[in-house]
Amino acid sequence: MKLSPFTEEHEMFRKEVRAFAERELAPRVDQWEEDKLFPNSVFKQAGELGIFGAHYPEDVGGAGGDFWMSIVKSEELPRCNAAGVTMGLLVQSDMATPVIGDIGTKEQKAEFLTPAIEGDKIAALGVSEPGAGSDVAGLRTTARLVGDEYVINGSKTYITNGTRCDFVTLMVKTDPEAGHNGISIILFPTDVKGFGVSKKLEKAGNWSSDTAELFFEDCRVPKRYLLGQEGMGFMYLMQNFQSERLVGCASAIAGSQLALDRSVEWGRERTAFGKPLIKREYWQQKFVELYTKLEAARALTYKACAHYNEEKFVQKGMLSMETTKLVSMAKAFTGDVTSEVMDQCVQFHGGMGYLEELWVARAWRDARLFRIGGGTTEVMRYATAKIMGL
């Protein structure tokens, strides 16, 4: 009986990503955290190693793998010890570009997707706005068709890779009166006149990842940059969100596992009241509980991944409500579990855990974002309740 979803090919890829994270990224992340940015060259390195394209078809520059390739990558990149770097790379491969692979024209894939896979162009996903976050239907950035061009006006915020992206997979209102049926997606090159970065946002965590507020003032892009059909953007995005949430779950679980493992090792050496801290019954009970919850989060995430992989990569169809429900459950549950794990790891380290010089402080503040980004925990539970008819 085969319990693991991973094949020999997946495990070979795992070794490659792990080596990249541990040898190329980890030794440098302290400086990148201090700089509040990791270098653009990291995107090119990842592209050359095939990390971005493992799950994309060969005809667009990928390796032709399945969705489990994305999960492998998401589980190994956290070994770089900076969630900001992991997030910036995952936005490139699994958040801003999957929708291009799904519905883009041959020309759009050649201009945007393939360069992103190769690491030659940096991608961002433009959804959130100052007045619309998880409520995507409330966005106000507009794209008005004038002749053969869309004229875009508005703003976006909380945009990962926003200060340096070469293009944005941009959610806009093409019919402001039609609610979520008036939303479309436009591939937006950032060298267009009228585009700019309002400011780089300072965050509580994920320092090495740049997050920006963007503005669009009478920006003109060709009609051919419309992705899919006009008015279908909300549906496309809801499908796209599922992969984003799953890779986020896999990454958060892997990061939490690393934190637990490292804490246990530290607890073997740290003595309190005459014995190693890990030998205290309270902490033995607590760590067993936390490891158990992580295993449950992983099992739920893998079940959602199996559904996603079957529908997207095997059947090559639309996602079912059952898959969307499982993804939403996994996102909410994983968020709660990983937050608890990181908080307890800080507590276990005592005063040392609250010092920036120790890894656990960074892991703790970085992990907090997961319950917000990609759909808040509250929205995930609301979506689940709606699907269940509650």
What's the rounded Cα separation, in Å, for the pair 165 and 161? 6
- Name 171's bridge partners: 185
26-51 in b/e form (b: 16+ CB < 10 A) is: eebbeebbeebbbeeebbeebbebbb
Asked about 356 being catalytic, the answer comes back as no
Place of tokens 């402001």: 176
The helix-helix angle for 83-90 and 67-76 (nearest 10°) equals 160
What residues have CB less than 8 Å from 61, skipping those under 6 apart? 53, 113, 114, 117, 118
Tokens of 72: 């492998």
| DSSP single-letter state for residue 136 | G
Contact 369, 205 (CB under 8 A): yes
The one catalytic residue among 244, 289, 322, 357 = 244
String of DSSP letters for 208-245? TS-EEEEEEEEEEEEGGGEESSTT-HHHHHHHHHHHHH
Question: Could you list the active site residues?
Answer: 244
